[in-house]
Amino acid sequence: MQRIVKQICSVVLLSACCAVTSVYAQRPATDKPEAVGMSSERLQRINQLIERKVKEEKIAGALTLVARRGKLVHLATAGQSDIEANKPLKSDAIFRIYSMTKPITTVAAMLLYEEGKFHLDDPVAMYLPEFKDVQVYGEGGVLVKPKSQMTIRQLMSHTSGLTYGFFGNTPVDQQYRAANLLGSESTLAEFTPKLAKLPLLFHPGEQWNYGVSTDVLGRLVEVWSGLTLDEFFRQRIFKPLGMNDTGFDVPAAKLERFTTNYQWGMNPLAVGEATGKRTVGDHPSKSRYAKPAKFFSGGGGLVSTAQDYLRFCQMLLNGGVLDGVRLLSPKTVQLMTREHTKHARLPQSGVTLGRGAAFGLGFQVITDTAENQRIGSVGTFDWSGAASTSFFIDPQEQLIAIFMTQKMPFDTRLMTEFRTAVYQAIVESQHR
């Protein structure tokens, strides 16, 4: 899909020549799909799609999950978590979710927003003084003063002027790459002063551009709360929601469940369907996730399971509450899932928002299904991760769908095919 989520990661390329052996497993749903307006027969098309992709060696394996009206109606795995070890993918597998971390970081910030710690239009420099004198890379390379200060809302909506450095080749991108901003040995407190010395790509608010904005937001969560980002996540989100397998690293006792990340072709951050030879990008035994994290990347640092992420999604779909535990007000969730980029120019290359889509606070939001050219509903919000993980939440249909695999670069076509397979299984729509 076009609003591709990318977060840079360390990759170790090893030769991988073993063929994929498909292993399919279906877990019992909590209720009959027909009880919530879905077809058991049509849901099988999700299985058929994934089985075909595994057979064609487009993915090593995948986990697919669908819930509607609070009921789990589909949970299936196919293929392997480690091809070389002939290890079947199981339903409790732990995945690198990369930029699916961003919605969690934004929720963390909005918890503090509700407590009055900041206003959305507060300047970032009010809380991070290092951004007080940040400049914009102007015409001819001249550094100019921003027309207005970067705000918290602009961080959440990716209109801040910040970038990533590896999706374009502008002079600003080149400076980002040279600074090695996302090195895993930095802390967030060390990261933001380093970032603030670099120029902005554009004046805040003028353009949508995918970048390190949510990492800066993660640092702000630390400043506002007095806790490290990982501790805030644990205390305020993971423990209350029962997300027991989500964090910035994988404990030794859980490494057996950690999946291998595979790479097709030489560029793990390319845009579009991957082609080329499959190699091992990141093996659990050598992964940076196998040791305690130092850089708590709010933009892309988490690992999780499908079941954990379902609990996070269900909380949002419920209007901020799950199993009697309220994290957010329904009005806050409503604000987060509205369009916040109406007046921002959209990029035409690299990481883009598709037609008929906008960005809210932490999510992409579908504004026009005909323009978007994908089956779905207006108001659906979603995001993805660099290793081809994805979720979407459709409030109109009371629908949640989660896709987990470990494939780089991000497979746009596969995500669209999964979404189609989910929606075609609906036989009773909430809106006609």
Mean pLDDT of the chain: 90
Nearest Cα residue to 59 out of 75, 77, 74, 41: 77
- pLDDT of 272: 56
335 and 280 together in one domain: yes
Tens of pLDDT along 71-100? 999 999 999 999 999 999 999 999 999 999
In a domain, 19, yes or no: yes
pLDDT at residue 270, as a whole number: 64
CATH of the domain at 161: 3.40.710.10
Domain holding 182, by residue range, is 106-230
Residues 364 and 272 in one domain: yes
Rounded distance, CA 34 to CA 46, Å? 16
The pLDDT assigned to 17 comes to 29
258-298 pLDDT per residue, tens:
999 999 986 766 655 556 789 999 999 999 999 999 999 99
Query: Tokens 């070389």 sit at which residue?
Result: 84
pLDDT at 12 over 50: no
| CA nearest neighbour of 201 among 213, 192, 191, 189 | 213
Q: Tell whether 127 and 256 lie within a shared domain.
A: no
Tally the domains of the chain.
2
In a domain, 429, yes or no: no
Region 191-202: mean pLDDT is 97
Does the pLDDT at position 164 exceed 90? Answer: yes
Say yes or no to pLDDT of 320 above 80: yes
The per-residue pLDDT for range 98-152, each reduced to its tens digit, is 999 999 999 999 999 999 999 999 999 999 999 999 999 998 899 999 999 999 9
pLDDT tens figures, 166-188: 888 899 999 999 998 887 688 99
Based on the fold, state whether residues 208 and 187 are members of the same structural domain: yes
Residue 55 shares a structural domain with residue 159: no
pLDDT at 218 over 70: yes
| Sign of the torsion angle spanned by Cα atoms 274, 47, 289, 184 | positive
Report the C-alpha gap between 343 and 329 in whole angstroms: 27
412, 300: one domain: yes
Provide the total of helices (H) and of strands (E) in the chain, helices listed first: 12, 19
Q: What is the mean pLDDT of residues 7-16?
A: 30
